[in-house]
Chain A
């Protein structure tokens, strides 16, 4: 195994965060703080609590997930799209690194950044609302699994995209709506019956529900179901990435 090669990619991607600190860390923290002000303070005065949890605290897991999903996808998709766009990918293709090492380098870095960002937002949330984390290890597990899954998903988008517009298309048109409709800001009990059923088809629901359970032990679906669903998404993403790299899809003619 070419560990040095893998680490070279990982460190390179991590160093990119340092160069784009404002865009990578500061901007998600600011936007999350704005959500707290708008949803937590303004709307939270009308909705006092959900399932025994103050509304401001209730939305914290959902907000972290929202950022985690969008940032994982954006980091990983840009990480692989940019070398493809500029042509510097030639070096990775000509290097003695396996597909697994390439993916671990790029996706590992994107997931690491997202987890760090998630923890920063958690700390930021602590400034606005009283927080409790009932199951810290479960919380970390959900955080890491989600970051990995959506970084892999971003990697897929980065390979698939031919231009910057396509790169933005899936996050804007699919992921953000799913995240908003997946119970970031509410419990699905609050929806009419039919919409509760529809929401069960939204994969993001399972991520947010499991993650929220690790904080407050309240969930829309069982925690085992959440974990199972994340594992299924992870498996699907791994299979697609494996196929893409094996066939050289849009990278190697």
Chain B
């Protein structure tokens, strides 16, 4: 049964985890995940991303809070929730001496699905693993092993796929292939939750972005909305003659001299009614400062992320 479009597919409520060592990995995290979206969880190493995924998938016991998948509790109704979830962990952990075909078929059986060679063939072909199906996993490259793990997670046709750092240590070309695969899955109706610390990855493929730092979910927002809300714009002026310092007459503006005084950078809020650009240009002219070129740029998700994490620190 497909979930109601208005109801979230996954509801995380007040989730906390304190390990036996006393380390508080998650602090009262609440989050709703919609069906058929790509949600990227961003955060520095040790922020709690993997713990969050591990709890939902059954690898770690929560200390407090609940998680439901389409109304089913992940602990009480674990059979139903786990049957709908596929997990690709961060570490490349595979049965070294098994063949690709056997290990993927094993995963399907483990999740209680009847054998379906046609499905396994499709998955392996989609992940460009078909010609390696009889190879032992130990003979494959790191990128291929990563794809074998994705194939295992997709073997039982899950509606929800968790990818923990899917492109860690993967080269640029393969990373782009991976992004195309993830998009293809979303288009086929799979909800994808991925963790990453590569900002460009979230920027490239996510519909929504959640930022986790020190066990707390700082923000969850549509990617475009997040960039619009938190994004700042910059006006960069290339001066005809370098300046030693910002003239006192212009001290009222958020200005910064760069490139040894050859550039003047003005930072402003793109959402504000008045950006202050007209006034600034007028004052520059009055002060006799002339420029040969100008360009504006938006802050990237990376800059937003860095500033969020710094604020939380």
Contact = CB atoms under 8 A, between A and B. Distances in A.
Contacts of A4: 109-110, 112-114
Nearest to B57: A94
B135 interface: no
A152 interface: no
Given A4-B112, A87-B93, A248-B61, A96 B79 contact: yes
A2 B112 contact: yes
B79 A90 contact: no
Contact of B93 (A15, A86, A98, A253): A86
A96 B19 contact: no
A83 B177 CA distance: 30
Interface in A12-47: 12, 15, 19
A193 interface: no
B59 interface: yes
A92 B106 CA distance: 11
B110 A9 contact: yes
Given A5-B109, A8-B109, A93 B59 contact: yes
A12 B106 contact: yes
A217 B275 CA distance: 101
B83 interface: yes
Contact of B106 (A8, A86, A87): A8
B25 to A, nearest CB: 9
Interface in A198-222: none
B298 interface: no
Interface in B1-34: 19-20
Contacts of B114: 4
A135 B56 CA distance: 53
B217 to A, nearest CB: 21
A94 B87 contact: yes
B94 interface: yes
A87 B89 contact: yes
B138 to A, nearest CB: 12
Contacts of B89: 87, 90
B58 A93 contact: yes
Contacts of B41: none
Contacts of A88: 93-95
B113 A91 contact: no
B221 interface: no
A175 interface: no
Interface residues of A, dominant DSSP: helix
Interface residues of B, number: 31
Nearest to B97: A19
B81 to A, nearest CB: 8
Interface in B77-117: 78-80, 82-83, 85, 87, 89, 91, 93-97, 102, 106-107, 109-114
Contacts of B83: 96
Contact of B19 (A7, A8, A94, A253): A253
B250 interface: no
B152 interface: yes
B60 interface: yes
A155 to B, nearest CB: 18
A2 B83 CA distance: 11
A97 interface: yes
Given A2-B112, A88-B94, A94 B106 contact: no
Interface in B180-218: none
Given A96-B82, A248-B61, A252-B60, A90 B110 contact: no
A95 interface: yes
25 contacts: A4-B109, A4-B113, A4-B114, A5-B109, A8-B109, A15-B102, A88-B93, A88-B95, A90-B87, A90-B89, A91-B152, A92-B110, A93-B57, A93-B58, A94-B82, A94-B85, A95-B82, A95-B111, A95-B112, A96-B82, A96-B111, A97-B110, A248-B61, A252-B59, A253-B60
Which 3 pairs across A and B sit closest by C-beta, in order of nearness? A8-B109, A87-B93, A96-B82
Given A11-B109, A88-B93, A98-B79, 8 more contacts: A4-B112, A8-B110, A19-B97, A88-B94, A90-B59, A90-B93, A94-B59, A94-B85
